Amino acid sequence: MKLYYSTTSPYARKVRVVAMEKGLAERIELVTANPWTDPAAVLAANPLGKVPALVSDEGLALYDSPVICEYLDTLVEEPRLIPANGNARWQVLRTQALADGVLDAAVSVVLDRRRPEAERSIVSQERASEAIRRSVQVLAANLGTARGSLDLGQLATAVAFDYLQFRLPEMDFGAGHAAVRHWCAEVGRRPSFTATVPI
């Protein structure tokens, strides 16, 4: 398999974390691709021009990150990152959606801040920041264990919290949440996280 990724993309990081947690990293060739400066490589695999994109051994191109994560989860039985059915399945997928939504909002703030001042939208930035604050509260209330086998919702949550710390540290989402800081530190020590720190 080939994974098109960039080292700073949190969505791609989630996929790489999942690949390592599933013991699949050896089967995946990592191809660095910056969607902003090198769109051709990415477009061949994803018409949206975004990373991550995975091309399976059969040549099937998959995107976006939740689809890739679900595909990887089916390739080997253990550890199961997405429960097969029932409410447990929907809760894990919902948590992933919330964590990914935090990423969407955070990325929109980061991109807006990079625009010339006259083109920025403080209103949009504020709206995104409020969505992040509300969602972080919900994610923080449902962290679960930081050790042993984690599910996809927990892995996506840890990736999102790390991205906030990386790109929007002044937001200080961990303020007043000692338990969250402790949980993030614990998860951050997993090999899948230390090997994928954004650079």
Ligand X SMILES: N[C@@H](CCC(=O)N[C@@H](CS)C(=O)NCC(=O)O)C(=O)O
Residues that bind ligand X (CB under 6 A): 9, 11, 35, 49-52, 63-65, 100, 107
* Dist CA 182 CA 46 (whole Å): 37
Q: Which is nearer to ligand X, 50 or 190 (CB)?
A: 50
**Cβ of residue 181: shortest distance to ligand X, in angstroms?**
24
Can you say whether the dihedral through the CA atoms of 108, 141, 74, 2 is positive or negative? positive
Name the residue number minimizing CB distance to ligand X: 64
**Cβ of residue 76: shortest distance to ligand X, in angstroms?**
22
Q: Which is nearer to ligand X, 29 or 104 (CB)?
A: 104
* Dist CA 81 CA 78 (whole Å): 8
**Cβ of residue 6: shortest distance to ligand X, in angstroms?**
6
Q: Which is nearer to ligand X, 102 or 143 (CB)?
A: 102
DSSP string, 69-137: HHHHHHHS-SS-SS-SSHHHHHHHHHHHHHHHHHHHHHHHHHHHHHS-GGG--HHHHHHHHHHHHHHHH
**Cβ of residue 88: shortest distance to ligand X, in angstroms?**
22
